[in-house]
Structure 1
């Protein structure tokens, strides 16, 4: 087990099979830099999902198709004192009748005050002069290469992860991804200093980051991304329409409860029916994201 510092010189706008930029062993820790998509203009973001520049791919020794790559998010540190977002609300979250009154797309800059632990608009809109939410770093887009030589734009997501924009992919969380190619070929990027559920303006507070993650290869198979925090376990479904994403996440959670907690389908339904929570990840990009989450206090491992 070792810690490696990698400085990228190129970035990718797709997650797929590509020449690895660096190799790590099972158990190793990676510290690397990510950048945001600040070069795109407002018109491009308004008419199409933007690509997210990814750092990677990283080859993880011992990861083989059928395995699971566990990625513990150790630290996410903004490397700039500013970030940016767009307004107004995305077309996908508005009633069709409200779209005609939607104002033009506008790009704004936020100050990231690490000492105060807050973010604040440089030029506040009326009524937001004192608005200063807490910094809450998260990874918007990360995952592993899909099977069959495929490559997915970093504007979307699938079974291999991708642009999920789920707020619980934050420091302290361990994310699990199904491995489909030798070495897993792991990518990460799209760091947000703060974001509400859904990424409903098409952006979190986008900025560059130094990220630290630790890898573990698990000799088990999963179908969709999973995650674990100190308090919860969750499964992620990525699809469109939204109900299909929910179905993927729910089915994966039912499987997990059987595999690790000894609950058959009927017992899992009793538990999930009363204590499950659903979180909305990305609802802006081509595939939507839903997380099916259960508090660990209801669970006993077997």
Structure 2
């Protein structure tokens, strides 16, 4: 199990079958960095075009179609003291014609950027994030620093390269706030080496990413990988200290629910967990919970989750 330090020099705005930047083995750990969604690094310099630029891809030796790749986020740490957001709740999240909206958007904060944005102070030592643009109540009320990765995944099937604006079975722009430090995320492998990409760090974000951004920021990242040979899954799965989670990425939203629920039933009744179908259906019917991931971009994200302690109790019964 080796440790690798990798400093990116170029980025991708698609997740696809790109030339790998580093080859690693199952069990290895990588320390690297990501830029923010507009391509700005730890110093605030724009080093690559906007669009959730991805660090990678990383080639995992021995990975091939039909395997499962597990990625654990060992560290997700903002590496500069400010981030930025959009401001208005997206039109597709409210009723048509709803008011109020506000029209006093700030001027663009950067000379090379035509879109307005709001700046936020990020205090890593205090563990807080606070609006720094304007003088309203949010500039006086800090919120919790809660780092997460918005866009990451493996190369999709068939040699495709899928835009980092959206998501599919291979992951992508899921913007789920549960993808925090310590989580283990599982992906179906389609390409030789899996080709893992990551980017789009957020210092904080509400469910749904309903203003089109979290608090966008660059990150220092450490992740480790594990390859499970011959285990085939169909949608991303995840585990943290509390939850087992499955992810559906699609539109309309009910299709996301279908994908996530199907993957959870498949997981619970697999040889790995071993519940009978009847038990799994009863359990989900009364105990399942759902979290909303991205509802801003072309594909929406829904997460189906169950408590690990409840699953373990069922397995012991």
State the TM-score, normalizing by the size of structure 1: 0.93
Report the CA distance shift for 1:209/1:269 in structure 2 as closer, same or farther (over 3 A).
Answer: same
Q: Is the 8 A contact 1:91 1:99 kept in 2?
A: no
Q: Aligned runs of 1:259-270 on 2, under 5 Å?
A: 259=270, 260-270=272-282
Query: Hey, what's the Cα distance between the residues in 1 that align with 2:265 and 2:102?
Result: 41
Provide the residue aligned with 1:277 in structure 2.
289
Backbone CA RMSD of aligned residues: 1.6
Please, which runs of 5 or more residues in structure 1 have no aligned partner?
41-49
1:108 aligns with one of 118, 121, 127: 118
Provide the residue aligned with 2:237 in structure 1.
226
Q: Aligned runs of 1:125-274 on 2, under 5 Å?
A: 125-219=135-229, 220-259=231-270, 260-274=272-286
Matched residue SS, 2:97: helix
Report the CA distance shift for 1:104/1:268 in structure 2 as closer, same or farther (over 3 A).
Answer: farther
1:289 aligns with one of 301, 306, 310: 301
Q: Is the 8 A contact 1:88 1:104 kept in 2?
A: no
Provide the residue aligned with 1:46 in structure 2.
none
Q: Is the 8 A contact 2:154 2:187 kept in 1?
A: yes
Matched residue SS, 1:148: helix
State the TM-score, normalizing by the size of structure 2: 0.89
Offset at residue 131 of structure 1 (A): 1.5
Provide the residue aligned with 2:108 in structure 1.
none
1:57 pairs with 2:57: yes
Query: Hey, what's the Cα distance between the residues in 2 that align with 1:103 and 1:175?
Result: 40
Across the two proteins, how many residue pairs are aligned to each other? 293
Offset at residue 100 of structure 1 (A): 8.5
Q: Which runs of 4+ in 1 moved over 4 A?
A: 99-102
Q: Is the 8 A contact 1:277 1:294 kept in 2?
A: yes
Matched residue SS, 1:71: strand
Q: Is the 8 A contact 1:108 1:121 kept in 2?
A: yes
Query: Hey, what's the Cα distance between the residues in 2 that align with 1:184 and 1:267?
Result: 34
Offset at residue 99 of structure 1 (A): 6.6
